[in-house]
């Protein structure tokens, strides 16, 4: 029985006054592809930093392959892409990949790492001359060049162009089929859905959902029903309806539901005066925000 790739046990992290991560526990088994999803500032990056050992938990335990994340033996088994981290601009792409390879016990060939990142044509360029998207691909090359068992990717597709993104998702898929563990953060549900078989939703430093993308989608998908009411709506008028979320501002009501027909039928039956009715597909981002919103209120 091999140790989990990463493990957080009742982990909290506080930066001064800010509680970034609050009593979070989860286990990521080897070979899992996990997306950590949540709005900006939800605690995704902090969670990743804790798993990498670049941040110390205020309380609780973090293990990487059963070891202290700071242990070089543990670090030798992971590759990382971080947000906003810099790389030396005066090295050439191939040089820096060579350099990073030397940190790992059984690295990929330099050319292979560069190919996976789609940087073949830029191998001889200085890092400082790369575009934002190319730089992001370089980070990917640096993450995979050690042929790691687990990859930690913080917002990996930010700044990538369409082609870069497509290729990146393909390569991640290929790594997953080879049994590599992949942990990535994103705020695109689509991306999580495409790659991961498990989604951990984080908001305000807490895990608010941890299940398959399908299950998450079922919770957040649905229709957006918006209307105004003549009189100020009463909370009790919405009691017992199959709603994912409900926002009432003065006379304006916004509902998210998977069963709009039933909800509307019931509202009419209850005699709610409905004006300016709109029913539309909730876009995922919105539905997701609604879901996190709803969770923090309950």
Partner 1 sequence: MSTVTARSATAPVLPMLARQSYAEFVKLFRVPAFSVTSIVLPTMFYAFIGLGQAKEPLFPGSAVTFGEYFLASMALYGVANVMVLGFGISLANERGQKQDLLMKSTPLPAPVFFTAKALSALAIALISIVVLGLFAAVAAGVQVDASQWLTLGARAMLCSIPFIGLGFALGYLAGPNSAPAVTNLIYLPTAFASGLFFPLRLLPQLLQNLAPYLPLYRGAQLVWDSVGARTEGGSIATDWLYMGAYTVVFFLLALWAYRRDQGKKFN
The residue ranges that bind partner 1 (CB under 8 A) are 2, 30, 52-56, 72-73, 75-78, 80, 82, 84-91, 95-96, 98-100, 102-107, 126, 139, 142, 146, 149, 152, 179
Closest CA to 244 of 175, 291, 191, 194: 291
CB of 23 to partner 1, least distance (A): 19
Between 149 and 259, name the residue whose CB sits nearer to partner 1: 149
Supply 43's token pair. 């605690």
Q: What are the distances in angstroms from CA 41 to CA 20, 47, 185, 201?
A: 8, 11, 12, 13
CB of 206 to partner 1, least distance (A): 22
Between 149 and 266, name the residue whose CB sits nearer to partner 1: 149
79, 144 in Cβ contact below 8 A?
Answer: yes
CB of 56 to partner 1, least distance (A): 5
CB of 22 to partner 1, least distance (A): 18
Q: 190 pairs with which residues across the strands?
A: none
Between 1 and 239, name the residue whose CB sits nearer to partner 1: 1
Secondary-structure breakdown of the chain: helix, strand, coil percentages, each rounded to the nearest 5 = 35, 30, 35
User: Exposed, middle or buried by CB within 10 Å (0-12, 13-18, 19+), for 230?
Assistant: exposed
Between 130 and 256, name the residue whose CB sits nearer to partner 1: 130
Supply 152's token pair. 């930690």
CB of 115 to partner 1, least distance (A): 21
Between 111 and 215, name the residue whose CB sits nearer to partner 1: 111
141, 117 in Cβ contact below 8 A?
Answer: yes
Supply 120's token pair. 């073949």
User: Exposed, middle or buried by CB within 10 Å (0-12, 13-18, 19+), for 202?
Assistant: buried
CB of 84 to partner 1, least distance (A): 6
Between 104 and 188, name the residue whose CB sits nearer to partner 1: 104
Between 77 and 246, name the residue whose CB sits nearer to partner 1: 77
Residues in the chain: 298
Closest CA to 207 of 29, 40, 36, 34: 36
CB of 134 to partner 1, least distance (A): 16
DSSP letter at 277 equals E
């Amino acid at each position: 029985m091999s140790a989990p790739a990463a493990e957080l046990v009742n982990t909290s992290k506080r930066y001064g006054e800010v509680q970034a991560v609050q009593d979070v526990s989860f286990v990521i088994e080897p070979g899992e592809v996990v997306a950590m999803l949540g709005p900006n500032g939800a605690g995704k990056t902090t969670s990743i930093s804790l798993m990498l050992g670049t941040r110390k938990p205020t309380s609780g335990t973090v293990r990487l392959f059963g070891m202290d994340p700071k242990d070089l033996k543990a670090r030798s088994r992971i590759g990382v892409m971080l947000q906003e981290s810099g790389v030396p601009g005066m090295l050439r792409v191939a040089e820096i990949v060579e350099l990073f390879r030397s940190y790992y016990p059984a690295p990929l060939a330099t050319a292979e790492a560069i190919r996976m990142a789609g940087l073949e044509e830029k191998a001889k360029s200085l890092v400082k001359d790369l575009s934002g998207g190319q730089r992001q691909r370089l980070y990917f090359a640096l993450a995979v060049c050690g042929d790691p068992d687990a990859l930690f990717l913080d917002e990996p597709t930010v700044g990538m162009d369409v082609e870069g993104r497509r290729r990146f998702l393909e390569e991640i898929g290929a790594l997953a089929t080879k049994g590599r563990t992949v942990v990535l953060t994103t705020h695109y549900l689509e991306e999580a859905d495409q790659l991961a078989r498990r989604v951990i939703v984080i908001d305000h430093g807490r895990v608010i959902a941890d299940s398959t993308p399908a299950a998450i989608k079922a919770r957040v998908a649905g229709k957006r029903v918006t209307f105004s009411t003549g009189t100020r709506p009463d909370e009790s008028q919405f009691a017992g309806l199959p709603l994912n979320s409900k926002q009432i501002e003065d006379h304006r009501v916004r509902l998210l539901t998977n069963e709009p027909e039933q909800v509307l039928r019931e509202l009419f039956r209850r005699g709610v005066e409905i004006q300016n009715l709109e029913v539309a597909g909730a876009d995922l981002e919105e539905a997701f925000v609604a879901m996190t919103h709803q969770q923090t209120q309950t």
